[in-house]
Structure 1
Amino acid sequence: VDIKQGKIVSMRLCVGSRDPMEEVAQAVVLAGKGIEGDRHNLNEDGTKSKRQILLMDRETLSRFQLDDGVIRENITVEGLELSSLTDGDRVSVGSEVVLQITGECEPCSRMDEIRQGLQVELKGQRGMLAYAESGGTISVGDSITVSVGDSITVI
């Protein structure tokens, strides 16, 4: 099993679909729901959302000359290329939280509001969506570890 590690460099909550993201130094992850206070923690009909948490790496953001949070990710990491992850991979964050990758985030038309053509440029590189398998508190500076090959069937 190949182990890859990085760290959280910034975090933010999406409180409303068009509202500015709220930057936080610490967040509570709720098992089966996502980040407390984030609008993606449940689908509108109350069912489990596969897009609870959006993870993005700073290395990819830098390649596109984008700042942390511009593409509306919840967690920005450094030292871990997220595009190498696949559905079902498990990601450990800090000492308690385990996230399960549910797939890549498709760039939407809102990316072109940031910069014309960005939606197409970011194809396959807009970060990874994850489901909160186990909860706890996470903080900026926490390690984020992936055991590649330690994957399970996607929910």
Structure 2
Amino acid sequence: MRLLSVNLGRAKAVPYTDHPDGVTGIDKRPVDEPVRVAAPGPKGVGASGLAGDAVCSTRHHGGDDQAVYAMAREDLDAWERELGRPLANGSFGENLTTSGLDVSGALIGERWRVGREVLLEITSPRIPCRTFQGHLGEPKWVKRFTERARPGAYLRVLEPGLIRAGDPVEIVHRPDHEVTVALTFLAGTTQRALLPRLLEAGAALHPELLGRARTYTAPQQA
């Protein structure tokens, strides 16, 4: 299990974003040099957890609970075969492209040691948006990505430090529940009846999703 690449984006003007300035940082490219990773601050204030990486829409992206986005190379390869086109590392706007990790099958609250210093914790899945569809340029992309339910994972930074392409990734903690990234994605998109199950993940879950699960469950418990 290792990092194939660490990917950073710069703010870029595009016609397919809702950002008021018309810019997005979704076009991320691999870098060769070490990158510092640290908690960026609360959502709406903090942006990316990776130094030098642009997050333009801080209302919806970035912040401590979405500091890092990881995608498995194996999932990119599967999409390459389906779309019939190459997808470079970073194509989905991910910061970390991994090898040997079932990212979407990972558990909420699972912790990864990346390299010697950095400790990350999985919080939630990525939810596709109009900007993602525009970036890929594929028809009905949001629907297709949602149906696949292999979204990759957002992570928070528990211990900061430097990472670089080629670093090993070690799973150092797996929680005692069965709430995976993929299940959380389904609960938050097409199968709302799964929302009560998210409560098993507790405080490790992204606070917004945890709040949705509690709101959905409350009337059933009344």
Same fold (TM over 0.5): yes
Question: What does residue 123 of structure 2 align with?
Answer: 102
1:132 aligns with 2:157: yes
Partner of residue 23, structure 1:
30
If the length of structure 2 is used for normalisation, what is the TM-score? 0.59
Matched, 1:14 2:9: yes
Q: Work out which of the residue numbers 89, 92, 102 in structure 2 matches 1:81.
A: 102
| Larger strand share, 1 or 2 | 1
Report the count of equivalent residues.
Answer: 147
Is 2:132 the counterpart of 1:111?
yes
The residue type paired with residue 158 of structure 2 is E
How big is the shift at 1:106?
0.6
Q: Deviations over 1:1-60 (max 9, x none)?
A: xxxxx1100111133252542431221112x221112234xx57xx94321110000000
Q: Distance in 1 between matches of 2:145 and 2:112?
A: 22
Say if 2:54 is the partner of 1:54.
Answer: no
Q: TM-score, normalised by structure 1?
A: 0.82
CA–CA separation in structure 2 for the residues paired with 1:131 and 1:15: 21
Q: Which has the higher helix share?
A: 2
- Work out the percentage of aligned pairs sharing the same amino acid: 25
Question: Which has the higher relative contact order, 1 or 2, with Cα contacts under 8 A spaced 6 or more apart?
Answer: 1
Counterpart Cα distance in 2 of 1:152 and 1:95 = 28
Counterpart in the other structure of 1:143: 168
Structure 1 equivalent of residue 111 of structure 2: 90
Deviation track 1:132-151 (CA, whole Å, cap 9, x = no partner) reads 11111111110112232278
User: How far has the Cα of 1:152 moved from its partner?
Assistant: 7.3
Matched-pair contact (CA < 8 Å) for 2:109–2:174: no
Which structure 1 segments of 5+ residues have no match? 1-5
Which consecutive residues of structure 2, in runs of 5 or more, have no partner in the other structure? Answer: 12-22, 41-48, 81-86, 177-200, 208-222
